[in-house]
């Protein structure tokens, strides 16, 4: 597996849990716990992208590199695009986006998801997901669901329940799912920039 970096977005504003990034998790701020887990992966560097100087100071105090970003980004991907511009990364640089509220993320999951992208040239982005078996989660709009092809390429994502899966949570024909998407995505630098340009022009 070739090298990759991890970027941990740590937005200050949180509507459901104010101050979430600095919530105490076993004596350390949540975002620091997440960064520590990411640092145990094979990543060559871990950056914390934040719009808050206080969060930046906290992660710096714990030995991590913060990158201050704008507060008005419409999505996390736009925040990543600002990061890659700040770092002047090469087009083929692989970037793993690990959400700041994932303090229990396994380093091996980061490695495997990054490796999957590099092993599948037909894929532009990789992510990880796990089987969704809880009916309440299936109808929860806060949970992103994904259906995959038989060879594990994602067919579509949705916060709403999928048609055909409203009454059963089982694989159908050559399609597997639904799965619950984890808060982890892997992008080549060039795909991040292309995505933000497409969205901005739509």
3-state DSSP call for residue 16?
coil
Angle ∠(127,41,117) on CA atoms, nearest 5: 30
Is there a cis peptide before residue 178, judged by omega within 30 degrees of 0? yes
Among 195, 177, 190, 201, which Cα is nearest to 78's?
195
Write down the domain spans for the chain.
5-120, 125-192
Pairing assessment for the beta strands 4-10 and 94-98 based on DSSP bridges: parallel
pTM assigned to the model: 0.81
Among 3.40.50.300, 3.90.550.10, 3.50.50.60, 3.40.50.2020, name the CATH number for the domain at 5-120.
3.90.550.10
Q: What is the band of 127 on the pLDDT scale with cuts at 50, 70, 90?
A: confident
The residue ranking higher by pLDDT, 133 or 2, is: 133
Structural contact between residues 163 and 156, judged by C-beta atoms closer than 8 angstroms: no
Whether 6 shows a pLDDT value over 60: the answer reads yes
Q: Give tens-digit pLDDT for 140-194.
A: 888 888 887 877 787 878 888 766 544 443 333 334 556 777 667 887 766 776 6
pLDDT in tens, 51-96: 999 999 999 999 999 999 998 888 778 888 899 889 988 888 899 9
Higher pLDDT, 12 or 46: 46
3-state secondary structure of 28: strand
Distances (CA, A) of 16 to 7, 12, 13, 25: 22, 12, 9, 17
What residues contact residue 67 under an 8 Å CB cut-off, 6+ apart? Answer: 7, 47, 48, 49, 50, 83, 86, 87
């Amino acid at each position: 597996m070739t090298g990759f970096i991890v970027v941990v977005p740590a937005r200050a504003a949180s509507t459901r849990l104010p101050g979430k990034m600095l919530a105490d998790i076993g004596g350390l701020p949540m975002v620091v716990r997440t960064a520590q887990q990411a640092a145990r992966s094979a990543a060559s560097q871990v950056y914390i992208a934040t719009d808050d100087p206080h969060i930046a100071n906290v992660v710096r105090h714990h030995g991590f590199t913060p990158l201050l970003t704008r507060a008005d980004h419409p999505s996390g991907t736009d925040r990543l695009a600002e990061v890659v511009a700040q770092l002047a990364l090469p087009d083929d640089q692989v970037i793993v986006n690990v959400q700041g509220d994932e303090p229990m993320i396994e380093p091996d999951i980061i490695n495997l998801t990054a490796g999957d992208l590099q092993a599948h040239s037909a894929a532009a982005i990789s992510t990880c997901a796990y089987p969704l078996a809880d009916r309440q989660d299936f109808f929860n709009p806060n949970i992103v669901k994904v259906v995959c092809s038989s060879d594990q390429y994602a067919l579509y994502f949705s916060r709403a329940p999928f048609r055909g899966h409203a009454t059963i949570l089982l694989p159908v024909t050559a399609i597997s799912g639904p799965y619950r998407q984890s808060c982890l995505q892997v992008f080549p630098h060039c795909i991040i920039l292309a995505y933000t340009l497409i969205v901005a022009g739509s």
